[in-house]
Structure 1
């Protein structure tokens, strides 16, 4: 009973309503995030502002639920969720609606469906998982940044809010059954939860860094740390001066890391404990140190800081869409003056959102509150209006997101319609016997859906081939399996996968079986790429197994292709060292295949377009301004794969670049067909290469 009594005393001490330093801490957190997003080179570790927010949320929410559990012996789930809805949903719904409107007015149609989908992910509070699964894929690396990407942290908190009251209900039930005070199990249970989540965070951060950053389980310990800061016994015996010193130590733990932490580190693993514990220390010592003039709590409690803290939630919501739309309009990152103007605009929008939306819905009218609290009314009746209003608002936003989606969906249906070779010759317009190009035809695929004009390898696991997981019977295309039918293996990265569909087109005229063994973002080499401090050995290790499987299969032809090393630097930030160059890795794999007596052909990489041809076409309406100078498209040094082919006797080399560039320019549209969807060909243009590819490979 003494422990339960201490628990009650500690919780009561933490309930002082006047904690302006917490608002100031929120201001610090949002300031770090905004500066990081505007000028990441100035504050490389500013992303830890999100971690500060998590700790603050845990401190307030867990502390509040613990007090309710201790006092009432239970938790009102309906009341808790209603408070969270009133606090968080109105402002987020307003931002989602504004982003939809801005998307339709300011962004090209090629982005409409992606952002419409992000609206739904954000409404359902699963944006963090969408970001995690997108970011860990190579496809996600080439997509434009979403103006709703920052909703991932809100999703983590909402998922936490969904389960934490249930957590307290279970603890209260266990306490009742064991005859203990209702709050007796809270601290040990929270500590165990924090330790388990922290251990999981360290493990996943070291093995799957990007997934760990967005996952909910790797962030629970940060919220729990805030909760423990609220639940531990009050600092009654700690002098105000000592508390002030501890507060400044906590501030140092928050501020100093922003100058040396980077996203390349395994975050939020053990390194995240520095700002998390620092934030917890500031929260723990704030009340005890408030009488000291030079304490952190007094500095954080000054009016400018508390004002920004008041609007911090809305500021977080608004600043990222403002930045993304500005970058889209400017076509580049903002300069220093532009960044300052964007920060000011975000603050103005945040203030308007706070006073016009947040406060209006967070604090219902006294008359309505009294009516809801009338005796005899059920818990549901008291909060029904909140839930109904939230559901209707969410439904309205979801329906609004369907409109731009459907506009693009109508155009997407065109992708399944076969194009006339006479009207849309594509690459055949520049073949040895050029096809005529009719004037006045609309470009196909429509730029609005070009990003969805994907090769056959985009389906299933055929674009992320893993020799240990993909059965040998999968990823076969072309003619039926008949004895004597020639077999071609296509191996390499996503640039190799582009040539599967042209070969499928060839197989419609001559018997041919095609096996795709391509892995996006993985050149068919035995030397691993690097990115900052990370070495991607998984790719090169799998290539050795893939080569052995190809040798075992004994195909009639092995077709190898891959993106230039300069393309990897531009698209993914990958590089190879002088001690382990990409050329040597290619030589090793090509030699393995040739030593086994296989016929091997290498395709030179396609030219790399400058900018985004899809968005350029949508902006200008015609292709004249959207071409790339050939010197730029083919810049960045020699093609490592072609160089390696020249070092391995018997390897054939084919270069189709004459189908892409002429008179010093690589156009965005050739033969009425859009050439690129990003740095990859549209599948429509790729298939138009089929006749010349067949000749080059001596297939016909």
Structure 2
């Protein structure tokens, strides 16, 4: 897949799907499929054109028939936004519903290109840009910034404090139309793996389009001026020149999309250069101005539908698969009214048209409602809840459309370009300031909680009833609730190997960095080898090494298990790039050739749940064990830390504890990796295994809080405090395991 990262859907733009009624003869071809900007009531004919009466924006109660609105475009909007909502609420029902974003990109490119080319001629190069961006501000910013602001307040009210910094950062990126780049960075950030979904995640596609709206008009304006001033280009004609450049942009962006999807799938879904070709495709359709081709729209709908069904979150995306919805949307746009059973005719029903009208508001509100409601309720949503939430989304969207979108879009207060642009800039600044404030307040609260606990010596305190020690002594319920301030501090309680100065290898280029703990004069050397889960045990092995009198070397690399198979994904929610996989393979070869021969004991620790379903071979694990033994080391297999939810999903431990005091996961879900251990032991019967279950679980459930501290610092890695508390237990287990290893 492009990324197992959650895929929010499209940004249904509110550009009016209007067909001009009259145009100058030299612009007729372009005008047939171009966007028609509503003009003031007192507008009259210009340059031989008949001025259009005010066209009610989509969804407004029209004074008369909706002659100028293209029913097929509104139908596409309704289809796309419905598919995205269904995908988010019931992903198994429509696994490719997220491809509705591609449909909207095509529609936006189509409408905006037609509008730009027409308005450059109508208003002249000097006035065009200001009018264009003012129109964008009126149509896009009021509803978008309202949702950003409302979600900021709601997040402050219902979310745990540890999520405030992330929410503030995403709100800022969304207000500045940079959310897609933030998500792209997080998609390749191993530390963000399993992070809870942001209520602003869906703003990524708005960000792509806003960036397009900055560059595209400047490009087309420059081409127009170039054609006018160059005799040779003038003979070719503007449409030819613009079409050639659009085609070049499309081909270049499409090629980049293929490359980045193959080599950097985590970021590919979000980055603007991998998406521009879809907007350019819509622009070319507008430029060609072909309409009325019988049967073609239904072929386009069929392609879009195939994408909804056959594409899923495991499909490399956008890449080749994105051609289905993109080409499909283009075919619908070149169709138009072609008969009694045309797509245009059948989507003209008022409910379909109205859903297209309010699609922007539906898109803006549905995702934050879906993210925030279960947090506010303190439980997962049932099917009944989801149905009711869809109804709430439609109701709120209707109010937003009528009370915010339409008044700002049609009112006189922001009619002039100067007023619209200034108001937009001020509004963005105010919302951005609020976002930064929430981020800083969250950071300050977390730092204060962490400082308070650090001053009390939490990690190193010899408290027999704190952390994992509570499981070995006569203490009150070790699975009792965790104090809110302790849970808050846990969000920054990283293991020692992952703290500053970091000595656990990250996901960048191959390196030979390692961590060294334990007794520097010890006669034995313990090598802890694995991915970031090995790093999370660094506090425990540091304590164990000192108790046993062993040197300890931690050779961990994020996303890189101790597995000698050819590079492959690790089965987590984050997709790795080709460069990361190659660096992982190089790192493991180096560990095996350089560190293993110097070790007396090799302790292997990883996240292995991705191998639990049996679809992936365990040969690489077995080979690592055998080659380590051949190098003269005794091998001990450390069992997996329990999952907080499923294999591809996470529940952030500190955040959950802040809200509920205690959180748990059924053993059947938390310990799925035991199957992997059993399969490895079948292949290597004399393998010495340390079972960690008793440190996290009772007979039925595994817990996120034990002995009054958070087990995790995120959704899957041990916190430094809890790891440290397991040191004495691990020392005992290692001593026994080495004896068993012979």
Q: What TM-score results when the alignment is normalised by the length of structure 2? A: 0.78
Match of 1:399 among 437, 445, 448: 437
The aligned residue for residue 59 of structure 1 is: 110
Superposed CA deviations along residues 453-492 of structure 1, whole A, max 9, x for unmatched, are 22244459865556x93332x2334479x89886543211
Q: Quick check: 419-428 or 346-355, which moved more? A: 419-428
1:170–1:502 CA distance, 2 compared to 1 (3 A): farther
> CA 1:329 to 1:389, structure 2 compared with 1: closer, same or farther past 3 Å?
closer
Contact 2:517/2:551, CA 8 A, preserved across alignment = yes
One of 298, 315, 337 as aligned partner of 1:265: 315
Which of the residues 455, 461, 481 maps onto 1:421? Answer: 461
- Equivalent positions of 1:629-668 (< 5 A) are 633-634=670-671, 637-638=674-675, 640=677, 643-644=680-681, 647=684, 652-661=688-697, 666-668=702-704
Runs of 5+ consecutive residues of structure 2 not aligned to the other structure: 1-23, 37-67, 646-650
Q: Does 1:39 align with 2:81?
A: no
Residue 93 of structure 1 deviates from its aligned partner by 1.4
Q: Distance between the aligned counterparts of 2:367 and 2:276, measured in 1?
A: 24
Q: Which moved more, 1:38-47 or 1:134-143?
A: 134-143
Work out whether 1:682 is the aligned partner of 2:719. Answer: yes
1:223-261, Cα deviation, whole Å (9 max, x unpaired): 0011111111455xxxx5xx2422222222223332222
- Distance across 2 between alignment mates of 1:234 and 1:608: 55
Could you tell me how far 1:599 is from its partner in structure 2? 3.8
Aligned length: 661
Aligned residue for 1:476? 515
Aligned counterpart, 2:254:
198
SS across alignment from 2:556:
strand
In structure 1, the partner of 2:49 is: none
Counterpart-to-counterpart distance in 2, 1:85 and 1:599: 66
Residue 568 of structure 1: aligned partner: 610
2:141 to 71, 80, 89: 89
Moved more, 306-315 or 410-419: 410-419
Q: Separation in 1 of the partners of 2:541 and 2:571? A: 33
Q: Which of 31, 34, 53 does residue 12 from structure 1 map onto?
A: 31
- Distance in 1 between the 2:562 and 2:569 partners? 9
Tell whether the 8 Å contact from 1:526 to 1:541 is kept in structure 2 after alignment. Answer: no
Cα displacement (A) at 1:102: 2.2
Does the C-alpha gap of structure 1 residues 252 and 633 become closer, same or farther in structure 2, counting only changes over 3 Å?
closer
Q: Does 1:223 align with 2:279?
A: yes
CA spacing shift, 1:413–1:318, aligned 2, 3 Å: farther
Retained in 2: the 8 A contact 1:104–1:112? yes
**In the alignment, is residue 109 of structure 1 matched against residue 164 of structure 2?**
no
Contact preservation (8 Å) 1:428, 1:671 = yes
Q: CA deviation at 1:120?
A: 1.7
SS of 1:452 mapped into structure 2: coil
Counterpart for residue 189 of structure 1: 245
Alpha-carbon deviations, 1:643-697, whole Å to 9, x = none? 4498276x65434544434676655433332223433322211011223334444
Gaps of 5+ in 1: 373-378
Matched-pair contact (CA < 8 Å) for 1:194–1:221: yes
CA distance in 2, matches of 1:679, 1:529: 17
Please give the alpha-carbon distance, in whole angstroms, between the structure 1 residues aligned to 2:693 and 2:300: 59
Q: Pick the aligned partner of 1:69 from 78, 97, 120.
A: 120
Q: What residue number does 1:324 align with?
A: 371
Superposed counterparts of 1:282-293, under 5 Å = 282-286=332-336, 289=337, 292-293=339-340
1:388-428 Cα shifts (integer Å, max 9, x gaps): 34433443454355445544443344465432614573223
1:446 corresponds to which residue?
Answer: 486
CA contact (8 A) 1:490 1:516 kept: yes
Separation in 1, partners of 2:428, 2:368: 22
Distance 2:479 2:733 in 1: 29
Shift of 1:70: 4.5
- The secondary structure found in structure 2 opposite 1:19 is coil
Q: Whole-Å Cα distance in 2 between the matches of residues 463 and 545 of structure 1?
A: 12
Match 2:705 to one of 646, 669, 674: 669
Displacement after TM superposition at 1:310 (Å): 1.6
Cα 1:203–1:293 change in 2 (3 A) is: same
Q: 1:639 to 1:224 in 2, by over 3 A?
A: closer
The CA deviation at 1:279 is 1.3
Alignment partner of 1:246 out of 292, 296, 311: 296
Q: How does 1:619-638 map to 2 (within 5 A)?
A: 619-621=659-661, 623=662, 626-627=663-664, 633-634=670-671, 637-638=674-675
Matched residues in 2 for 1:381 and 1:359: separation?
17
8 A Cα contact 2:180 2:203, kept in partner: yes
